Structure 1
């Protein structure tokens, strides 16, 4: 049971790391070449579309699975993976989402949005990648312990 939870947390961390890294190295650089109106329209559409059941399941479910795995496993790598998944969640909720909301409400211009949003996105990409590495390490360690005991 704990292996399945840890695997789920690992997969969720990987999906989030891929999403945020993809924004950092492809989406935002691609949008950087657009005009202001196109940039704002595209970001607003992305921010509406991304709030869907699959995204929310992975975004919120990953840290929950990580917490349950930590409770069952009580291992340092799982604790690090969980902590970094919480950092990703908190950065998103405290920095990126308020910037998204301000952009949608017209309370911030592109020039006040793009730089800070990009910087915080990199923070959450690094955090979710670190979470992926830590959870993967925990899975590998668990597998090698199982192999040695057979």
Structure 2
């Protein structure tokens, strides 16, 4: 049982760290870089990124993080000697689930609307600008929250590792 607790906690920490790092990279590099680009470039690039990110590696980490955290929480809750990790694990899971809620309610609908806008090379500059302005600011705000929440989750999982 100890091996299972350790393995799931390490795997939860790694997968959460990967997703937190992804969101962080968008917050500090990708979106600020695209902010310096033309409207059509931002729209086209984000459309391409949104298509490319839907792959097995991303899904494995994105869905694996909460599943592994939940499994770790259950494994720690069943052993009286490891119950000191329950609170940080529960909060880590809650903050990650909040991240998923933000993604599902804000980022994914914005990504879908961006895709529905069509190819920016076939639109005029006014349409590209409108598409960008309805997408960029709300997406960035939501992504900042996702970055913060997954970072909190990562810190709590790391703390749980120290308790282990």
Same fold (TM over 0.5): yes
Equivalent pairs, count: 142
Q: 2 CA distance for matches of 1:91 and 1:67?
A: 19
Q: Distance in 2 between matches of 1:137 and 1:80?
A: 12
| Structure 1 ranges of 4+ moved more than 4 A | none
Aligned to 2:104: 93
1:122 & 1:89 partners in 2: Cα distance? 13
Matches within 5 A, 1:35-50: 35-50=38-53
Give the aligned partner of residue 146 of structure 2: 124
TM alignment of 1:74-93, pairs within 5 A = 74=77, 75-93=86-104
Measured after TM superposition, the shift of residue 9 of structure 1 is 0.7
Per-residue CA shift, 1:18-38, capped at 9, x if unaligned?
100110000000000111111
- Give 1:90 shift: 1.4
Q: CA deviation at 1:71?
A: 1.0
Unpaired runs of at least 5, structure 1? 143-150
Match of 1:147 in 2: none
Match of 1:21 in 2: 24
1:106-125 Cα deviation digits (max 9, x unpaired)? 19711011000000000000
Q: Which stretch of the first structure deviates more once superposed, 108-117 or 44-53?
A: 108-117
| CA–CA distance in structure 2, aligned partners of residues 36 and 17 of structure 1 | 27
RMSD, aligned α-carbons: 1.1
Aligned equivalents of 2:98, 2:15: Cα separation in 1:
14
Compare CA radii of gyration and give the structure with the larger one.
Answer: 2
Tell me which residue corresponds to 2:9. 6
Whole-angstrom distance in 1 between the partners of 2:71 and 2:40: 44
Q: 3-state DSSP class of the match of 1:109?
A: helix
